[in-house]
Chains A and B, each alone.
Chain A
Amino acid sequence: MVIFGIDLVLLISALMISATPVLLAAIGEAVVEKSGVLNLGVEGMMITGAVIGFIFAVNTQTPIYGFICAAIAGALLSVMFAVLTQYIMSNQVATGLGLTMVGLGLSALIGKPYEGIKSPTLSKIEIPILSDIPVLGPMIFSHDAIVYFSVILVATVAFVISKTRIGLVLRAVGENQEAAHALGYKVVRIRFLAIMFGGATAGIGGAYISLARVPQWTEGMTAGAGWIALALVVFASWKPWRVLLGAYLFGGITVLQLNLQAIGVAIPVEILSMSPYLVTIVVLVGISLFGHHTAPGSLARPFHASQ
């Protein structure tokens, strides 16, 4: 399957890997925003996950411990955000931006001794039978555990949000916080947990960059993936499967343009490099022109149970 000198099997396989960090962060942020909270600290939680995951994976030589610690680190950092915004009622936008800066600075500091080291990588899990299917097998069913995990996570979040009571309560809290409170739901507690979930998945997403995609540690290596994740949530109209679609679109164009650069097409490198962002923006604008937007009604509004 080679089209214009690009192997389609490798392309799809690579785009799934390339999209996974953004996908993980975005699905977590979608849950956070569904609960009515805007956490702009995704980039900071991702980079923290990346460095903590790298450190633990290198020291234990077991990548999976790295991912677990990255999830914990991301969640802990998000607890800081949760306490500030949910209890001390600080402004969500400013606090989220601060969180990103804290994450970037902190990771640079603690990651210094680990620069230039190679991390252990995850082994591929060939899914029995399915991975033997020609073309589709190597394309989709021959990845490491985190890629499968991210897709299963999207499916789980989609199911929980639309089909279960927990999901219904989560949407209710994000949609109309006063009404949810009047019915006796614990708005702050539910949001706190949602924020921690978002922190954990952002941490895992970050660790996937430093443990699978690159696999090494460099300062600032998330390179805006957190911001892309935030944009994707909006582009996807807060719908989990659309988040997956958006992440794969972004990841796909990233891989494609690298391939195009490699085979030397006559398009300036600068334009190719900016194309993933450009296409994502164009699609985003297109959706906002034609689709209808349904942001959670209480998004980014502070809540205090004073009434």
Chain B
Amino acid sequence: MAEVLLQLDGISKSFPGVKANDEVSFQINSGEIHALLGENGAGKSTLVKMIYGLMQPDSGSMKLGSENFRPSEPSKARQSGIAMVFQHFSLFDALNVAENIALGMENPPRLQDLSEEIETVSKSYGLPLGPRRLVGQLSAGERQRVEIIRCLLQNPKLLIMDEPTSVLTPNEVKTLFETLLRLKGEGKSILYISHKLEEIREICDYATILRNGKKVGSCIPRDTSAKQIGEMMVGKSFSSPSRKTRAFGEELLKVSNLSIRTKDFFGTSLSNINFSVRVGEILGIGGVAGNGQDELLSALSGEDKTSPSTIKIFNQPIGKLAPDERRAIGMRAAPEERLGHAAAPAMTLIENTLITSHSEDVINQLGIIKFDNVKEKTKDIVSEFDVRTATLDNAAASLSGGNLQKFVIGREILQKPRVFVVNQPTWGVDAAAAAFIRQSILNLASNDSAVVVISQDLDELFEICDTFSVLTNGRMSKSHNIRSLSSEDVGLLMGGSDLDRKSHDTA
């Protein structure tokens, strides 16, 4: 029997109007990777903030080892051997790696010595990191390394990780898991917060599930199916999106010889991309983010213009049209970055609805906004897509990631686009919301639209798409009927080779 490291007993915490945690009790053993699961807003973050001393519980007690534990501030928690890797990294772009790490330590050594230590530790864990590099220039995976190294240097007993994989590429996730398993082998405990069930089933020993602030169950993830865990999280059984076999109509969107030189220093140029999508078809574009996905979306949405005939809708050349002109003829897009790209963070939901509305619907002849109409539309989005918000006047930034994504997708889908392009539709969204979003994409396609889904999540693509291709290094493979592909085929495609022996399914 492993010894108990941290024991939570009846922890409650309220905010005005919400009970964030209600009598939560569980224990974490030494050398255990313990999952804390729940939908967005289930109270996971509040709970770990109390363990880390950023908030204090209203009632209940914690025990670390055999001693009572109630940290009044993060430094007290750190002294007791608790370290935390934040979901939105708590890093400083303008400072270098060593300075960032020093800020998260209680008694940092001189920067000189610290730099050497960082190099040794990071190498020994297989997470190489240059101590003098500016954090602002690091990739998401490297930034997370900074946080992990910062924690490891303090030799913690318990490492809290808040949604660590939401910003990582599949390869980075693999490296992270190796590190976590190694830490576990050293007898450290890890509290792993996530809503990605497959990940949890892969590495966690034990899971505690929260819903609406209450602990609703626990399980050993390896022995429980993802569906069962998902149902515990949501509290009802949710069905996987259902797909009807659809007959495809005529060719709706056609992209031919699309090449774009990227203007972004870190971007990827597109070279000679060709594909077409028919009425009723969902084309899935897989591949690791950063291989031209953003550039492809910009070209389709109209943010980047191309020569007119590169992109055609019903044989009408639209490559030169601006985003609003494309929306007017029924082509809409939802970019990956919800805050700042798909929605303006500081503006209200009503104003965000206005941004992509057809101007005839929302502006009268005098050029004055018909706010009643916009409000009606916003109300429809919120009710039909189950967007949880206090009022329609809430700023977009105040919504949780999943809710905002439902809003963005709903805003575009309710306009009934003929062509819909979406990048990472369910990134960072909990299981129930993801299922809902996928279902609405399927419904849109059944209503005679053509849909392009760009995603890193292969399971997602296989769940909803009819045809599949891969974008690697700015080049796109031919599209294949997704049901004819084996996992070996997908691997080949992801590696950048084409399957010549298979016929192009549109042929």
- Using a CB–CB cutoff of 8 Å, the interface residues on chain A facing chain B are 165, 168-169, 171-172, 175-176, 178-180, 182-185, 294, 296-297
B94:A294 contact, CB within 8 angstroms: yes
Contact pattern, B 74-103, Cβ under 8 Å of A = 1, otherwise 0: 110010000000101111111100010011
A-side contacts of B457, CB under 8 Å? none
B-side contacts of A172, CB under 8 Å? 92, 95, 99, 103
In Å, the complex CA distance between A180 and B90 comes to 7
Q: Which of A168, A178, A183, A294 contacts B99 (CB 8 A)?
A: A168
Given the known A-B contacts A182-B86, A183-B74, are A168 and B54 also in contact in the complex, defined by CB atoms under 8 Å? no
Query: Can you list 24 A-B pairs, Cβ within 8 angstroms, ordered by A?
Result: A165-B102, A168-B99, A168-B103, A169-B103, A172-B92, A172-B95, A175-B94, A176-B92, A179-B86, A179-B89, A179-B90, A179-B91, A180-B90, A180-B92, A180-B103, A182-B54, A183-B90, A183-B103, A184-B73, A184-B74, A184-B75, A185-B103, A297-B93, A297-B94
Nearest chain-A residue to B107 (Cβ)?
A: A165
A-side contacts of B108, CB under 8 Å? 165
Q: How close is B55's CB to chain A, nearest CB, in angstroms?
A: 10
A-side contacts of B319, CB under 8 Å? none
Query: Residue B286 at the A interface, CB < 8 A?
Result: no
Contact pattern, B 59-77, Cβ under 8 Å of A = 1, otherwise 0: 0000000000000011100
Q: Which of B73, B75, B92, B95 has the most CB of A within 10 A?
A: B92
In Å, the complex CA distance between A294 and B93 comes to 10
Nearest chain-B residue to A186 (Cβ)?
A: B73
Interface residues in B94-138 by Cβ distance below 8 A to A read 94-95, 99, 102-104, 108
Q: Which of A168, A175, A184 contacts B93 (CB 8 A)?
A: A175
Nearest chain-B residue to A184 (Cβ)?
A: B74
Given the known A-B contacts A165-B108, A183-B74, A184-B73, are A176 and B102 also in contact in the complex, defined by CB atoms under 8 Å? no
In Å, the complex CA distance between A297 and B73 comes to 25
A-side contacts of B102, CB under 8 Å? 165, 168
In Å, the complex CA distance between A144 and B104 comes to 43
B90:A175 contact, CB within 8 angstroms: no
Q: Which of A165, A179, A180 has the most CB of B within 10 A?
A: A179
Nearest chain-B residue to A295 (Cβ)?
A: B94
Nearest chain-A residue to B55 (Cβ)?
A: A307
B-side contacts of A168, CB under 8 Å? 95, 99, 102-103
In Å, the complex CA distance between A32 and B145 comes to 31
A-side contacts of B86, CB under 8 Å? 179, 182
Query: Residue B221 at the A interface, CB < 8 A?
Result: no
Q: How close is B93's CB to chain A, nearest CB, in angstroms?
A: 6
In Å, the complex CA distance between A297 and B95 comes to 11
Query: Residue B292 at the A interface, CB < 8 A?
Result: no
A171:B75 contact, CB within 8 angstroms: no
Nearest 8 Cβ contacts at the A-B interface? A184-B74, A179-B90, A182-B90, A175-B92, A176-B92, A175-B94, A184-B75, A184-B73
Q: How close is B277's CB to chain A, nearest CB, in angstroms?
A: 41
Q: Which of A169, A184, A294, A297 has the most CB of B within 10 A?
A: A184
B-side contacts of A183, CB under 8 Å? 74, 90, 103-104
Interface residues in B447-500 by Cβ distance below 8 A to A read none
Q: How close is B144's CB to chain A, nearest CB, in angstroms?
A: 14
B91:A184 contact, CB within 8 angstroms: no
Q: Which of B73, B88, B95 contacts A171 (CB 8 A)?
A: B95
Query: Residue B53 at the A interface, CB < 8 A?
Result: yes
In Å, the complex CA distance between A180 and B102 comes to 12
A178:B95 contact, CB within 8 angstroms: no
15 further interface pairs, Cβ-Cβ under 8 Å (given A176-B92, A182-B90, A183-B90): A168-B99, A172-B95, A172-B103, A175-B93, A175-B95, A176-B90, A176-B93, A180-B103, A182-B86, A184-B54, A184-B73, A184-B74, A296-B94, A297-B93, A297-B94
A-side contacts of B89, CB under 8 Å? 179
B-side contacts of A169, CB under 8 Å? 103
A-side contacts of B75, CB under 8 Å? 184
B-side contacts of A297, CB under 8 Å? 92-94
B94:A171 contact, CB within 8 angstroms: yes
In Å, the complex CA distance between A69 and B236 comes to 70
A-side contacts of B92, CB under 8 Å? 171-172, 175-176, 179-180, 297
In Å, the complex CA distance between A185 and B94 comes to 17
Q: How close is A172's CB to chain B, nearest CB, in angstroms?
A: 5
In Å, the complex CA distance between A204 and B86 comes to 43
Nearest chain-B residue to A298 (Cβ)?
A: B92
B103:A178 contact, CB within 8 angstroms: no
A-side contacts of B74, CB under 8 Å? 182-184
Q: How close is B325's CB to chain A, nearest CB, in angstroms?
A: 35
In Å, the complex CA distance between A135 and B191 comes to 69
In Å, the complex CA distance between A184 and B104 comes to 9
Q: Which of B54, B73, B75 has the most CB of A within 10 A?
A: B54
Q: How close is A52's CB to chain B, nearest CB, in angstroms?
A: 37
A-side contacts of B99, CB under 8 Å? 168, 171-172
In Å, the complex CA distance between A182 and B73 comes to 10
Q: How close is A198's CB to chain B, nearest CB, in angstroms?
A: 20
A-side contacts of B91, CB under 8 Å? 176, 179
Nearest chain-B residue to A294 (Cβ)?
A: B94
Given the known A-B contacts A165-B102, A168-B102, A179-B89, are A184 and B94 also in contact in the complex, defined by CB atoms under 8 Å? no
Nearest chain-B residue to A176 (Cβ)?
A: B92
Nearest chain-A residue to B73 (Cβ)?
A: A184
A-side contacts of B103, CB under 8 Å? 168-169, 172, 180, 183, 185
A-side contacts of B78, CB under 8 Å? 184
Q: How close is B95's CB to chain A, nearest CB, in angstroms?
A: 6
A-side contacts of B93, CB under 8 Å? 175-176, 297
Q: How close is A233's CB to chain B, nearest CB, in angstroms?
A: 16
Q: How close is B501's CB to chain A, nearest CB, in angstroms?
A: 52
In Å, the complex CA distance between A96 and B157 comes to 47
B-side contacts of A296, CB under 8 Å? 94
Q: How close is B289's CB to chain A, nearest CB, in angstroms?
A: 24
In Å, the complex CA distance between A182 and B83 comes to 12
Nearest chain-A residue to B92 (Cβ)?
A: A175
Q: Which of B53, B90, B91, B108 has the most CB of A within 10 A?
A: B90
Nearest chain-B residue to A305 (Cβ)?
A: B54
In Å, the complex CA distance between A191 and B58 comes to 29
Q: How close is B89's CB to chain A, nearest CB, in angstroms?
A: 7
B-side contacts of A176, CB under 8 Å? 90-93
A-side contacts of B53, CB under 8 Å? 184
B-side contacts of A184, CB under 8 Å? 53-54, 73-75, 78
In Å, the complex CA distance between A185 and B74 comes to 9
In Å, the complex CA distance between A171 and B103 comes to 10
B-side contacts of A165, CB under 8 Å? 102, 108
In Å, the complex CA distance between A296 and B54 comes to 25
Q: How close is A201's CB to chain B, nearest CB, in angstroms?
A: 24
In Å, the complex CA distance between A148 and B368 comes to 63
Q: How close is A23's CB to chain B, nearest CB, in angstroms?
A: 24
B-side contacts of A180, CB under 8 Å? 90, 92, 103
In Å, the complex CA distance between A171 and B96 comes to 12
Q: How close is B110's CB to chain A, nearest CB, in angstroms?
A: 10
Interface residues in B33-59 by Cβ distance below 8 A to A read 53-54
Nearest chain-B residue to A167 (Cβ)?
A: B99
In Å, the complex CA distance between A296 and B95 comes to 11
Nearest chain-B residue to A163 (Cβ)?
A: B111
Q: How close is A186's CB to chain B, nearest CB, in angstroms?
A: 9
